[in-house]
Amino acid sequence: MSKEIMLSIQHEEFISEYIFGENRGNAAKSYASVYTEGSVTPACYSGASKLLARKDVRDYLAVIQEEQRQISEYRMIHNTETLSRIIEEMSTYSPMDHNGNPLSPHLVRQTAITAIREQNKMLGLNEEKADLTVNGGMNFTFNLIPPTDEDQDEIDAEIAGIRKRQGDVEAEDVDFDEVKEEF
């Protein structure tokens, strides 16, 4: 059961500046921005140090950092899933003009490629090159590292752990070879 942490408004402002503000990570400058109108004095170093040593301030920092970690985990899952939907839609979409005539799929394929690039950056898959030919014969080169079986297991376990902590229901893993055989 979590207990409520009571801090003064100035202490909360210091922590907010220290974690999120212009002086992020710099305790003395964060202290100065709250207590001395931005002027860093020798007292700012000791004052900031004393504040960061207090148990109630450390507890409050831990709560804020845990909230930020959970938000980051959620954003990673959400952004990965959103980019996957964009990739799927744009890689199969066939654009038409207002008269129903087919248009070049170049722009929608480029959107899919950009989404793939961003998703790979987010997942840290940008070191090796792989060639890809998109419908219509267009050739593209992507920088990516295909995950090893061990990496894939770690990624799956991490996503499953995040989903479990967030209370999300896991999607059933489907082997694509099994799906092909059914049809």
Q: State pLDDT tens for residues 89-119.
A: 888 888 888 898 888 888 888 888 888 888 8
Amino acid making up residue 70: Q
In a domain, 38, yes or no: no
Q: Domain containing 89: what range?
A: 68-169
Give residue for tokens 């248009």: 103
Number of domains comprising the chain: 1
Both structure tokens of 100: 């129903």
**pLDDT: which is higher, 5 or 39:** 39
Rounded to 5 degrees, φ, ψ at 113 are -65, -40
Contact 129, 143 (CB under 8 A): yes
Q: Is residue 89 part of a domain?
A: yes
DSSP-derived letter for residue 126 is -
Taking a C-beta distance cutoff of 8 angstroms, is the pair 27, 52 a contact?
A: yes
Mean pLDDT (the chain, rounded): 78
Q: What is the largest CA-CA distance in the chain?
A: 74
Q: CA-CA distance, 35 to 84, in Å (whole number)?
A: 47
> Does any domain span residue 84?
yes
Q: C-alpha 124: how far from its chain's center? A: 11
Q: How far is CA 3 from the centre of its chain?
A: 29
Does any domain span residue 177? no
Q: What is the pLDDT of residues 21-52, one digit of tens each?
A: 888 889 999 999 999 888 888 999 999 999 99
- Does a structural domain hold residue 100? yes
Is residue 110 a contact partner of residue 87, using CB atoms and an 8 Å limit? Answer: no
pLDDT score, position 32: 93
Instruction: Give the pLDDT band of residue 179 (cuts 50, 70, 90).
Output: very low
Provide φ and ψ at 120, rounded to 5°. -65, -40
